[in-house]
Amino acid sequence: MQTKNTTSILVIDDDPVIKEVIEAYLIRDNYLLFFAESGEEGLVLADDILPDLILLDIMMPGMDGFETFAKIRENLKLANVPVLFMSCIDDRDTLRQSLDAGIDDFINKPFDKIEFRAKIRAISRVNRSAFYKTVNRLESIIYDKDVRISELQKEIELLKQQQSFSSEIRHQ
């Protein structure tokens, strides 16, 4: 029995064939897939769905992948979402430029199915791990704050009792 995967992936690519390939490669893993055909559309959709991973084509008409990526990183809601660049450009300069821009990973088109699925799983796993570490850290902070609030409430009660006692002595 296969469990439902809750990892959401936004694919931003203007090529309908890529959409079909990605669906075919990932359908077995039950990812929640969303598609946008332009950088502009992808930014709006990403802001709306807050995906766990974004697959982004470099070469698109209008806003290219580099500009779209820069806008993703400028958006506080999306700034930490992993982004994987996809491109048929197979040269070291593009790879270096992508990595210098801060991209999380890069894959060449046409995709090797095994490599593609492995990269998606690895990024999803790392992202999920970072998410749970953050949740645990925040829960710990909240617990510490709750303990401190409880201590302060006790101190306030003690001060109220002391004030009340002090007030009674003055009236006597």
Q: Quick check: is 145 in a domain? A: no
Q: Quick check: is 2 in a domain? A: no
Please say if the pLDDT value at position 111 is more than 50. yes
Q: Quick check: is 88 in a domain? A: yes
Rounded-to-integer distance, Cα 35 and Cα 57, Å:
12
pLDDT tens profile 43-91:
999 999 999 999 999 999 899 999 999 999 999 888 889 999 998 776 7
- 3-class DSSP assignment, residue 41: helix
- 3-class DSSP assignment, residue 165: helix
pLDDT tens profile 144-162:
788 888 888 998 988 888 8
User: In terms of pLDDT, which residue wins out, 17 or 165?
Assistant: 17
Q: How many domains does the chain have?
A: 1
Please say if the pLDDT value at position 105 is more than 50. yes
Place of tokens 């990605």: 22
Instruction: Indicate the DSSP class of residue 89.
Output: -
Q: Quick check: is 35 in a domain? A: yes
Q: Quick check: is 49 in a domain? A: yes
The domain that contains 54 carries what CATH number? 3.40.50.2300
Boundaries of domain holding 61: 8-132
Binned at pLDDT 50, 70 and 90, residue 109 comes out as: confident
Q: Quick check: is 106 in a domain? A: yes
Q: Quick check: is 164 in a domain? A: no
Please say if the pLDDT value at position 34 is more than 90. yes
Binned at pLDDT 50, 70 and 90, residue 2 comes out as: very low
Share of the chain above pLDDT 70, in %: 86
pLDDT score of 107: 87
Q: Rg (Cα) of the chain, in Å, rounded?
A: 25
Q: Quick check: is 100 in a domain? A: yes
